[in-house]
Structure 1
Amino acid sequence: MPMTPAWTAITPILLLIASNVFMTFAWYGQLKVENRPLWLMVLISWGIAFFEYWLAVPANRIGRQVYDPAALKAMQEVITLAVFAVFSVTYLGERLTLNHGIGFGFIALGAWFVFKGPF
């Protein structure tokens, strides 16, 4: 059963958000675990990333029906930053500063230009 156009547009966004949660934990979750060998943390991260791929690949396959590859990549980068910002504050206990906000804002502005289309 094919998805409606609205679901085809929103599904990749939801899948990319979920995949980025997994990937953020795979890449940065181990920063709170300092007493384990690096090789073990790499294997655990690979295991987490496996599930990220099960979400990211369908997100891009479904998303390609609605978005061009550059738009999918720009969307993914903005989602990655948003997920990372929440993760950084809530899980790692980091503080986001104005320079982070400005840098993230410039990346979001770049995504806006990608979605805006040719000038």
Structure 2
Amino acid sequence: MLFTKLKAKAAHLIRGENAEEQAHNFLINKGLKPVSRNFRCKQGELDLIMTDKQSLVIVEVRFRKTDKYGSAAESITRAKQSRIIAATHIYLASQKTDRPIRFDVIAISGNGNIDWIQNAF
């Protein structure tokens, strides 16, 4: 008899997926068009890739239950920004695009507040 091991997803991963879905829907409602989600490479991950008019928008989604240790937006360090930029270079190497690039942040707090920071870095 064969048994398949099922792994339960950790709560923080489920919260992260929910936050990304919430951000995705929020941006679509603001007029952005989805291109890709969760692009992964050795350098890191790009949460959402969208277009806004002529720009290709790389979106980092952050969720924080509380601001006790800093806000969601404050959690994006210079090192994190560098990883996002490096992953963007890898993504662009596989794409044929001459669009301008913009880096946005969607910061979601535990009370459901969404802060959209355009041209965040």
Kindly indicate which of the two structures has a greater share of residues assigned to strand.
2
Q: Quick check: TM above 0.5?
A: no
- If the length of structure 1 is used for normalisation, what is the TM-score? 0.31
Kindly indicate which of the two structures has a greater share of residues assigned to helix.
1
